[in-house]
Amino acid sequence: MADNATTPAKAGGATTLAETGGRPSVGLFVTCLVDLFRPSVGFAAIKLIEAAGCRVSVPASQTCCGQPAYNSGDRKDTRAIAENVIATFEPYDYVVAPSGSCGGMLKTHYADLFEGDEAWSARAAAFSAKTFELVSFLVDVRGMTHVDASFAGSVTYHDACSGLRELGVKNQPRRLLKSVEGLKLIELKDADVCCGFGGTFCVKYPDISNAIVGRKAEAIVASGADTLLAGDLGCLMNMAGKLQREGKPVHTRHVAEVLAGMADEPAIGEVER
Amino acid sequence: MSGRDGTIGARAAILGKIRRQLGVTAEDPKRNAAVDARLTRAPKGVVPARGQLDAAGRIALFTEKMEKASASVARVTNVEAIPTAVAEYLRAHNLPAAVRMGEDALLNALPWQKTSIEVSHGASEGSDAVGLSHAVAAVAESGTLVLTSGADNPTTLNFLPATHIVAVEAAAIAGDFEAVWAQLRKRYGKGVLPRTVNMVSGPSRSADIEQKLQLGAHGPKDLHVIIVG
Amino acid sequence: MVAITSPQFKANAKAALADPNLQQALTHVRHNFIERRAASAVALPEFEALRDSSRDIKNHTLANLDLYLEAYEEKVTEAGGHVHYAETGEEARDLILSICRKAGARTVTKGKTMIGEEIEINEHLEAAGIEPIETDLGEYIIQLRHEPPSHIIAPAVHLTQKQVEDDFRRAHTHLDPNRDLSEARELLAEARGILRQRFLEADVGITGANFLIAETGTSVIVTNEGNGDLTQILPRVHIVLASIEKVVPTLEDVSQILRVLARSATGQEMSTYTTFSTGPRRRDDPDGPDEYHVVILDNGRSEMLGSQFQDMLRCIRCAACLNHCPVYQEIGGHAYGWVYPGPMGAVLTPKLIGVDKAGNLPNASTFCGRCEAVCPMRIPLPNMMRHWREREFERHLQPATYRTGLGVWAFLARRPRLYQFATGIAMRVLGNLGHRRGRFRALPLAGGWTKYRDLPAPAGKTFQEQWKEKQRALKGREA
């Protein structure tokens, strides 16, 4: 379980490589959706990061990456939030987020917020350089090639847009999924097409969002897979919500849950039977 | 100086606005030098490798691409064979034995009398079934013919007749567009082009009706290329 | 006046989603363009390098646009053509009308020109008693329907074949009503026959220009039909209508960009007809126009230079962004309410008609990024849509409820302890409400979501709460 290798809750949770016995320190960026709606994803992420030979801390003063404000044009609040995030995570060797869209915000957009401010630009650059989406961190940074997990059933994988296009997350989750014992991976038709979530888009333009997710749900059902996976909880909730509204039997989970062998909890939007 | 018709004001306003927005001046010597240099040197950029073949390779590639675009391609060993090749094509397609061409020297020197083809000359006014042109060059990279305007090969012949037959010398099939520009510069001078240069890559087509691809939209329904040599 | 309906975007979109003809027509858009573009990009190893090179050429040109415009103008004049400048759409329309009047024009054929749509030239000519005739098949069809184009390269992509048949029957009253028009090729043949006569009769031909080449004073058009060519060589007068950013320096430069244009648009390596026109007929030309005019339009583009929107001026109107956009694929082009739809329209329209009218366009995006991924000129479209959202935010143009909701979220996000307190309570409440079924079919304030989807219920305790508990338990054990 995730609770046997955590760092003591020192102020800022700072650790050095020496203190952690040569293992890099990772600050887990939980993301607001995981924090609020599906904490099990956070625990699955911790288990995986520890399996990759790192020590994980969860700084208490994190809230949101600032993307809702950023994409709504509120640069002032976004910057304030970003300053808090950067400062909070400065003590760690790496920052890892179980989300391509938060990861993309932290890694590729923070620099934009501090243009013209030399000191903060440097801090932001250092922060972004050490920040990764979860699966990309495991495979690209830690060199993970397989996981010790099993999953009886077929899954199909949706490429969430930010992870795919901002961070290049595509082959990594498929590689690890293929190593899960018993798991059958079925490729989703148009896997790289948007699911229609888009943050506030899905509530600002619900009719259009519904058309897009309806099409995605059709493809998911057509794949024949029992379970839908992706690396972004927003997208997952959007797709799960649509599948369930349509009465489809597909289960939806975050890819971390399956990779960490923690897929025994109820799937998204479901309860224990 | 253009603008005499009264748009001098607009011209000055637009150029002035551009300069203000960019934070530059018209007289800046560095900018002028950079622009002059580019216009003079005309650097090439990225030239695809696929057209960089020997003559036989270029002919094969050009033929493949033209046929893929629904043009038909025939090959004759010398120019004297062109009239017979044209006659064969017309017969095979149930077309009347009549073609319209311009004053092109090569085409006009051919033994048309050996066939029963009625040859007329000049620009097309829309009533010709078949136009015959001589392309100055072709581009293997994309399967493209290059035709230039003038009395030799009037541009209307490329578009009005429903069938367009084009003769091109094998040696004129270049690997890339850049070679064609070099050739045209030699012929017309630097910075000068004939009134029209047509780059033709197949018969006319449209997919405007439910994305169904159809040939013969407004230009020729059939394009037949005769490679000579 | 052609109505601008961008402010009614939401209603437009809703109607579009419920339009069976449009939805049937859009099934063709969802895959054909995308697959063909992908195939042709893969088939050319230099494709990515050509995108970089094309971007660099345009950036260099824009940085020196004034000088290249002057160089272009000089060459056009040398070749016997005339260059006219227009700051606004109104000026451009008046210039064109004046040229047509001087030519005694009764009918004017038109090649496809989006700038023509932008300045509403057809309406202007008609009001002056001159008949404009669209010759691009798609444009011809929508002209019959009195509709604007719904796509920047395939104007009638929103129509089914049956609709086209109905339009032809309605408009071509001089033909036998019992004729068979059930096949697409019959429709094409009918249009070809009718338009051929109009091509031959026209007094003036108006085309757009994909590029204006400074080195030689040349306008370039690309078509598959050949209609642009018949438009510009048959009439006595040829008018080229182009905006300032169409200039490229040299023949080699235009060749770079041509290599990515058709591939990005339709997946073809070259459009069937790529035509380079320089001035009126020469002494030995047996065909061609007697007069060659270029009307160069600004209409807000110079203002984009040196601004956050400068990169948008690299656009070559290939429509790759439209074709790959999940929003465009569902609602088609008319919903955007003006000339330019899809992602490029979302960036350009607010600039040209105002963000107060067109604000919905840059907001109706999921920022999936597919547009930027396929743009041959590497335009950062989502970033520029975000810049529009920033302008709206500054000007308080967004709906109040939305702004307030985001304000509350940002307020909390900056105060971690308060955030955890508030979210802890909210998630406990929601978790309790939802724990029986695990999801909500309906929820107050969440109507936008629950109208079409269930909302998964939160677990109850937040991660941070569970984490704190685990830490305490650990400490307890260690003690």
> How do residues C342-368 score in pLDDT, each as one tens digit?
999 999 999 999 999 999 999 999 999
Q: Is B11 on the interface with C (CB under 8 A)?
A: yes
Query: What is the DSSP code (8-state) at residue B192?
Result: -
- Residue in chain A closest to C23 (alpha carbons) equals A211
Residue C264 and residue C222 in contact, taking contact as beta carbons nearer than 8 Å: no
Of C303, C320, C353, the last residue of a domain is: C303
Question: pLDDT confidence of B6, banded at 50, 70, 90?
Answer: low
What average pLDDT does the segment A72-83 reach? 96
Q: Which residue is listed with tokens 């209409």?
A: C299
Which residues on chain C are in Cβ contact (under 8 Å) with A162? Answer: 367, 369
Of C253, C287, C303, the last residue of a domain is: C303
Minimal CA separation from B106 to chain C, in Å:
18
Does residue C349 lie in a domain region? no
In angstroms, the CA C414 to CA A61 distance is: 9
Sign, Cα dihedral of C180, C184, C188, C189? negative
Q: Do residues B12 and B122 share a domain?
A: no
What average pLDDT does the segment A169-192 reach? 98
What are chain B's partners, defined as 3 or more CB pairs within 8 angstroms? Answer: C
Comparing B97 with A4, which gets the higher pLDDT? B97
Q: Which two tokens stand for residue A39?
A: 């904490």
Residue range B155-201, pLDDT digits in tens: 999 999 999 999 999 999 999 999 999 999 999 999 999 999 999 99
pLDDT at B128: 94
In C128-183, alpha helices (H):
137-145, 161-171
Residue C130 and residue C100 in contact, taking contact as beta carbons nearer than 8 Å: yes
Strand partners, C223: C273
Does residue C321 lie in a domain region? no
Which residues on chain B are in Cβ contact (under 8 Å) with C274? Answer: 144, 198-199, 201
Chain-wide mean pLDDT for chain C? 95
pLDDT at A20: 53
Domain housing C26: 6-303
Give the pairing type, strands C82-86 and C291-297.
parallel
Q: Which two tokens stand for residue C437?
A: 């079924």
Q: Do residues B25 and B87 share a domain?
A: no
Q: Do residues B19 and B71 share a domain?
A: no
User: Residue B86 pLDDT > 60, yes or no?
Assistant: yes
- Inter-chain touch C452–A60, beta carbons under 8 Å: no
Q: Which residue is listed with tokens 């648009």?
A: C265
Q: Do residues B21 and B108 share a domain?
A: no
Query: What is the DSSP code (8-state) at residue C311?
Result: G
User: Residue C243 pLDDT > 90, yes or no?
Assistant: yes
Of C303, C327, C345, the last residue of a domain is: C303
Q: Which two tokens stand for residue B104?
A: 């092109």
Give whole-number Cα distances, B174 to A62, B203, C181, C282, in Å. Answer: 63, 20, 43, 27
pLDDT at C14: 97
Does residue B169 lie in a domain region? yes
Task: Give percent above pLDDT 70 in chain A.
Answer: 92
Does residue C105 lie in a domain region? yes
User: Residue C185 pLDDT > 60, yes or no?
Assistant: yes
- Inter-chain touch C276–B196, beta carbons under 8 Å: yes
In angstroms, the CA B69 to CA C273 distance is: 12
pLDDT at C1: 64
Chain-wide mean pLDDT for chain B? 95
CATH number at residue C144: 3.40.50.10420
Which residues on chain A are in Cβ contact (under 8 Å) with C441? Answer: 245
Q: Is B42 on the interface with C (CB under 8 A)?
A: yes
In angstroms, the CA C205 to CA C236 distance is: 8
- Residue in chain A closest to C474 (alpha carbons) equals A3
Q: Give the one of B125, B199, B212 whose C-beta lies nearest to C270's C-beta.
A: B199
Show the beta-strand stretches assigned E in C313-392: none
User: Residue A11 pLDDT > 70, yes or no?
Assistant: no
Q: What are chain A's domains?
A: 2-140 (3.40.50), 146-259 (3.40.50.11810)
Show the beta-strand stretches assigned E in chain B: 72-76, 98-101, 118-121, 130-134, 137-139, 144-148, 163-169, 173-174, 196-200, 205-206, 214-215, 222-228
Q: Do residues B33 and B57 share a domain?
A: no
Comparing C470 with A1, which gets the higher pLDDT? C470
Chain-wide mean pLDDT for chain A? 92
Q: Which residue in C259, C247, C186 sits closest to C220, CA to CA? A: C247
Q: Tell me how many domains chain B contains.
A: 2
Q: Which two tokens stand for residue C176?
A: 């036998």
What are chain C's partners, defined as 3 or more CB pairs within 8 angstroms? Answer: A, B
- Inter-chain touch A36–C458, beta carbons under 8 Å: yes
Question: pLDDT confidence of A22, banded at 50, 70, 90?
Answer: confident
Q: Do residues C296 and C417 share a domain?
A: no
Comparing C315 with A22, which gets the higher pLDDT? C315
Residue range C40-60, pLDDT digits in tens: 999 999 999 999 999 999 999
- Inter-chain touch C456–A165, beta carbons under 8 Å: no
What average pLDDT does the segment B1-28 reach? 86
- Inter-chain touch C456–A240, beta carbons under 8 Å: yes
Sign, Cα dihedral of B122, B222, C255, C312? positive
- Inter-chain touch C454–A240, beta carbons under 8 Å: yes
pTM: 0.95
- Inter-chain touch A161–C398, beta carbons under 8 Å: no
- Inter-chain touch C439–A270, beta carbons under 8 Å: yes
Does residue C372 lie in a domain region? no
Determine how many CB atoms are found less than 10 A away from the CB of residue A95. Answer: 26
Question: pLDDT confidence of C6, banded at 50, 70, 90?
Answer: very high
What is the separation, in whole angstroms, between the first and last Cα of chain A? 24
List, as one string, the DSSP characters of A123-184.
HHHHHHHTEEEHHHIIIIIT-----S-EEEEEEEE---HIIIIIH--SHHHHHHHHTSEEEE
Which residues on chain A are in Cβ contact (under 8 Å) with C373? Answer: 165
At C282 the three-state DSSP class reads: coil
- Inter-chain touch A211–C435, beta carbons under 8 Å: no
Residue A208 and residue C361 in contact, taking contact as beta carbons nearer than 8 Å: no
Question: pLDDT confidence of C402, banded at 50, 70, 90?
Answer: confident
Q: Do residues C269 and C407 share a domain?
A: no
Q: Is A194 on the interface with C (CB under 8 A)?
A: yes
pLDDT at A180: 98
Question: pLDDT confidence of C479, banded at 50, 70, 90?
Answer: low
- Inter-chain touch C463–A69, beta carbons under 8 Å: no
Residue range C258-290, pLDDT digits in tens: 999 999 999 999 999 999 999 999 999 999 999
In angstroms, the CA B133 to CA B165 distance is: 6
pLDDT at C3: 87
- Residue in chain C closest to B17 (alpha carbons) equals C302
Run of H or E including C212: strand C211-213
Domain housing B195: 52-228
Residue range A46-63, pLDDT digits in tens: 999 999 999 999 999 999
In angstroms, the CA C54 to CA B77 distance is: 40
Q: Which two tokens stand for residue C127?
A: 């009001």
In angstroms, the CA C442 to CA C460 distance is: 18
Determine how many CB atoms are found less than 10 A away from the CB of residue C263. Answer: 26
Q: Is A70 on the interface with C (CB under 8 A)?
A: yes
User: Residue A252 pLDDT > 80, yes or no?
Assistant: yes
User: Residue C198 pLDDT > 70, yes or no?
Assistant: yes
- Inter-chain touch B45–C285, beta carbons under 8 Å: no
Q: Which residues contact C56 (CB under 8 A, 6 or more apart)?
A: none
What average pLDDT does the segment B196-212 reach? 94
Minimal CA separation from B202 to chain C, in Å:
6
Predicted-complex ipTM score:
0.97
Q: Tell me how many domains chain C contains.
A: 2
Q: Which residue in A97, A90, A89, A92 sits closest to A23, CA to CA? A: A92
Task: Give percent above pLDDT 90 in chain C.
Answer: 86
Does residue B32 lie in a domain region? yes
Does residue C310 lie in a domain region? no
Q: Do chains A and C touch (3 or more CB pairs under 8 A)?
A: yes
pLDDT at C474: 86
CATH number at residue B118: 3.40.50.10420
